[in-house]
């Protein structure tokens, strides 16, 4: 019973964390921080935009509309991830809220097909995080 509850809790946390956690801003070894350990920099945000653009085949106008959304989202994600006073569940819930707000802004920009791919990308990210969490146990 305890294992089942733990697995469910881990699934919820991983799902929330992965709404935006596909190494969205070049987080790599710096733990989600920019090259100097602070906020994500312009190059990291541009790299994220290029990845999204390639995967979703964004038009130039769509890329232009997505950039301010990513610029706004990046420091919010970083602030939550670096907040040591929050527990994993609290961080997950806050990241989920950020992700939902981003989705609401992104959806009108994307075609239905692109938005479906966007959601599939997110689902894949959640699956990868679940695998990482399972491997750590």
Which domain, by its residues, includes 46?
2-136
Helix (H) / strand (E) element for 130: namely helix 112-136
Q: Which of 65, 71, 63, 56 is nearest to 24 (CA)?
A: 71
What number of H helices and E strands is found in the chain? 5, 0
d(CA 10, CA 8): 5
| Per-residue confidence (pLDDT) for residue 132, from 0 to 100 | 62
Domain count, the chain: 1
Q: What residues contact 92, with CB distance under 8 A and at least 6 apart?
A: 12, 13, 14, 15, 16, 17
| Per-residue confidence (pLDDT) for residue 104, from 0 to 100 | 95
User: Between these two residues, 127 and 26, which has the higher pLDDT value?
Assistant: 127
Mean pLDDT of 65-89: 90
User: How sure is the predictor about 81, in pLDDT bands with cuts at 50, 70 and 90?
Assistant: confident
């Amino acid at each position: 019973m305890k294992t089942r509850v733990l697995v469910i809790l881990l699934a919820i946390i991983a799902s929330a964390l992965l709404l935006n956690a596909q190494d969205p801003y070049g987080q790599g070894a710096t733990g989600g921080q920019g090259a100097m350990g602070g906020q994500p920099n312009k190059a990291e945000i541009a790299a994220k935009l290029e990845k999204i653009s390639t995967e979703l085949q964004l038009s130039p106008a769509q890329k232009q509309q997505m950039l301010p959304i990513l610029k706004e989202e990046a420091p919010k994600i970083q602030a939550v991830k670096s907040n040591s006073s929050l527990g994993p569940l609290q961080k997950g819930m806050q990241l989920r809220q950020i992700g939902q707000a981003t989705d609401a802004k992104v959806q009108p920009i994307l075609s239905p097909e692109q938005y479906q791919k966007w959601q599939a990308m997110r689902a894949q990210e959640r699956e990868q995080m679940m695998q990482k969490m399972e491997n750590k146990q």
